Amino acid sequence: MDAQKKLILIIEDDNGLNNLISEQISGVGYECKGFSKARDAITWLKDAIPMLIVLDYGLPDLTGNEFINELKKSGLTVPPFVVATGRGDERIAVEMMKLGARDYIIKDAHFLNLIQHVIYRVVKEIETERKLSETERELNELNRFNSQIIEGAQEGIMVYDKQLKYVSFNKFMEKITGTNAHEVIGKYIPDVFPDIKNADIYECGKLALEGKESEIEFYFELPETGKSGWVLNTFSPLRNADNEIIGVISIVHDITERKQSELALQVNHDMLQKLLYSSTDFIRTDSMVDYQAFLKTMIEISGAKYGAFNLFERNGKDFFTVAVSAGQNDLAKVTKYLGFDIRKKKWKIDPVRAAKIKDQQTTRFENLRELTGTVILDKLVFLIEKSFRLSAIYVVKVNSNTNALGDFTLLFTDNVELQNREIVELFANQVALYLQRNQTENEMKESENKFRLLFDENPQPMWVYDTDTLKFLEINQAAIEHYGYSRKEFLNMTVEDIHHIENNPALFNDSKQSGLSVNSAGEWRHIKKNGEVIDVKMSSCGLILNNRETRHVVIQDITERKIAERALHDKMEELMRFHSLTVDRELTMIELKKEINKILEEGGNPPKYWIVK
């Protein structure tokens, strides 16, 4: 069932108040559905999902928390809800907020005026969350699309960092080397493949870091995996969105088959030369996060005098103070005492402090000395405590599942203690969810940018086309430069527009009908925009893009190799023709010598020529 975006469900046992709430909400453009009993509403919710529920906590058949738990127990969707009650009970508020309530409204004299404002704000929050959810879905789709391109490529793709350590190692590389990516990432080539002694790999990598492209061709043999073969390895600089070189892209083409073909041709050529020379008569021949706002809210709900928000690094050993709540004069005084500004200060994790807060979300420290341990000198801690009349210190962890993201350090004065502990912890959990989502979005964007770079900046011509219409959907810069068409021209063309008439129609039809699970490769003839005909090797794999079947294609220009093969073939045919002519002439001479010998013998003379029988 899809949520009804303009419908708000009102569950209120006072029919008059139910109608008044409906009038207020309808006044801002929303439809309303009302019930006076919780169980009637539950029955209705089995077939519908409203945008929001306005829930009276004290219903005649169920309380608010019983109603929410009954929905969960029945396996029904729990829509966003706000709670209205005639009792200003903080315990009830915390209880319902933990169950997911978006707000808590007291039924006092201002209730009807306030309800419209609360509904408007909560609806805006829901719409914002939906937009964020859609953004996450789109980022996931982009990330999956790029991952399919890299992992489905029929060429090896490796990425090195600026120290020439492996960062990426796709499935094609796993296949030709027999080595898993997790055994490679973060290591140097000799650490993984000690039998590959080719120093040119490092030279090519260094050239790429200088902005130069290069390629090498070599034979590899890996005794540990039993893999061997010939590869053509191209190296190009990997640049970020600011055109800065951040690493190296290495494209590996398995040219074993080509090499075997070339070697076979060479063997045939050598054999023919040997036969010819055996007779003297034969001739020779490529979102910013407002941490300060988090802290301000935490200070307000906790009652702390001062506070700091610390963000942990992923290594789990360091953290940064990213926000501080204190007056300018107080900050200046602390800076003078310590000799440094605590804002954006990097701290080492204190094992004693870490052990004390490990098993609980909120930890109380008797004083500042207990919190700082040996990190700050005792005499400085004593001076700060006295100057600011500090008493208890509370550390509230900001955790997502088991991952520690940061903490709020709350400082109290004049023996004041932490207020609203449950709300404080609830807020800390909400901050954790926000930070985790923000981190996930940043990682997805980073991942999408990285993989997009591998497509857009790849030195190999690449494109993606629709398998139904054959229209080009994506085209990289290398293909634009190689074929001479602009991006706009390419996106208005189909793959048939560049195929040469000499291509095998049956083979072309087979490639169009290849399914998602089929990886294909073949040699074709293409026509550039300037009319030049080129020979190419095309390798492709199927992938899903925007819910339709497409194919990702990698192009390798083999025109020079094809020209060389044709020239060698023509040369061997010429040699064979000459060989045939030479043999025919020799046979004719033998016949003539036999005739002369016969004539001489008939005349009683000895033969002039000796002929091998």
CA–CA separation, 85 and 54 (whole Å): 11
Higher pLDDT, 88 or 360: 360
Residue 265: inside a domain, yes or no?
Answer: no
pLDDT value at residue 285: 38
pLDDT value at residue 518: 56
Residue 446: inside a domain, yes or no?
Answer: yes
Of 524, 541, 557, which closes a domain? 557
φ, ψ dihedrals at 476, nearest 5°: -95, 170
Residue 385: is its pLDDT beyond 80?
Answer: yes
pLDDT value at residue 275: 45
- Give yes or no: residues 72 and 174 share one domain: no
Residue 248: is its pLDDT beyond 50?
Answer: yes
CB 134 within 8 A of CB 152: no
pLDDT classification of 262: cutoffs 50, 70, 90: confident
Give the domain CATH number at 369. Answer: 3.30.450.40
Distances (CA, A) of 603 to 579, 589, 598, 606: 37, 22, 9, 9
* Lowest mean per-residue pLDDT among 122-131, 282-291, 333-342: 282-291
Residue 421: inside a domain, yes or no?
Answer: yes
Residue 441: inside a domain, yes or no?
Answer: yes
pLDDT value at residue 281: 39
> What is the DSSP code (8-state) at residue 494?
B
- Give yes or no: residues 483 and 415 share one domain: no
- Give yes or no: residues 374 and 522 share one domain: no
Q: 190: domain range?
A: 153-254
What's the pLDDT tens digit per position in 548-560?
A: 788 888 888 888 8
- Give yes or no: residues 222 and 341 share one domain: no
- Token digits of residue 14: 């006072």
- Give yes or no: residues 346 and 438 share one domain: yes
Give the domain CATH number at 541. Answer: 3.30.450.20
As a whole-number percent, the residues of the chain with pLDDT over 90 amount to 19
CB 84 within 8 A of CB 57: yes
Higher pLDDT, 137 or 449: 137
- Token digits of residue 140: 């996931």
pLDDT value at residue 282: 36
* Mean pLDDT on 339-365: 85
The amino acid occupying position 478 is A
Mean of pLDDT over the chain:
82
- Give yes or no: residues 60 and 112 share one domain: yes
Give the domain CATH number at 88. Answer: 3.40.50.2300
What's the pLDDT tens digit per position in 54-88?
A: 998 888 999 888 999 999 998 998 999 999 887 76
Residue 533: is its pLDDT beyond 70?
Answer: yes
Residue 279: is its pLDDT beyond 70?
Answer: no
CA–CA separation, 508 and 524 (whole Å): 9
Tokens 């559905």: give the residue. 33
CA–CA separation, 246 and 162 (whole Å): 6
Residue 378: inside a domain, yes or no?
Answer: yes
Residue from 116, 119, 31, 131 nearest 82 by CA: 119
SS3 annotation, 353-369? HHHHHCCCCEEEECCHH
* Mean pLDDT on 2-12: 79
Residue 343: is its pLDDT beyond 50?
Answer: yes
pLDDT value at residue 484: 92
pLDDT classification of 259: cutoffs 50, 70, 90: confident
What's the pLDDT tens digit per position in 297-306?
A: 999 999 999 9
- 450: Cα within 13 Å, side-chain hemisphere: 21
φ, ψ dihedrals at 526, nearest 5°: -120, 160
Domain tally, the chain: 4
Distances (CA, A) of 130 to 52, 120, 124: 13, 16, 10
pLDDT classification of 276: cutoffs 50, 70, 90: very low
CB 548 within 8 A of CB 468: yes
CA–CA separation, 140 and 235 (whole Å): 29
Give the other-Cβ count within 10 Å of 223's Cβ.
9
CA–CA separation, 160 and 356 (whole Å): 41
- Give yes or no: residues 183 and 203 share one domain: yes
- Give yes or no: residues 36 and 162 share one domain: no
Of 522, 557, 592, which closes a domain? 557
CB 330 within 8 A of CB 307: no
The amino acid occupying position 156 is G
Residue 519: is its pLDDT beyond 90?
Answer: no
Q: What is the pTM of this model?
A: 0.36
- Give yes or no: residues 239 and 128 share one domain: no
What's the pLDDT tens digit per position in 408-437?
A: 999 999 999 999 888 888 888 888 888 887
- Token digits of residue 418: 């932490």
- Give yes or no: residues 222 and 348 share one domain: no
What's the pLDDT tens digit per position in 476-513?
A: 888 899 899 998 999 999 988 998 887 766 655 655 55
φ, ψ dihedrals at 496, nearest 5°: -65, -25
Residue 106: is its pLDDT beyond 80?
Answer: yes
Residue 279: inside a domain, yes or no?
Answer: no
Residue 259: inside a domain, yes or no?
Answer: no
CB 20 within 8 A of CB 54: no
* Mean pLDDT on 158-169: 89
pLDDT classification of 222: cutoffs 50, 70, 90: confident
pLDDT value at residue 270: 53
Coil vs helix vs strand at 223: coil
> What is the DSSP code (8-state) at residue 58?
B
- Give yes or no: residues 369 and 442 share one domain: yes
- Give yes or no: residues 300 and 447 share one domain: yes
CA–CA separation, 563 and 584 (whole Å): 32
What's the pLDDT tens digit per position in 568-607?
A: 887 887 777 776 777 666 677 777 777 777 777 777 788 7
pLDDT classification of 278: cutoffs 50, 70, 90: very low
Residue 238: inside a domain, yes or no?
Answer: yes
pLDDT classification of 388: cutoffs 50, 70, 90: very high
Of 557, 582, 608, which closes a domain? 557
Task: Taking each helix axis as running N to C, give the angle between helix 111-152 and helix 421-456, from 0 to 180 degrees, rounded to the nearest 10.
Answer: 30
As a whole-number percent, the residues of the chain with pLDDT over 70 amount to 86
Residue from 65, 250, 55, 287 nearest 167 by CA: 250
Quick one: how far is CA 194 from the chain centroid? 30
Residue 243: is its pLDDT beyond 60?
Answer: yes
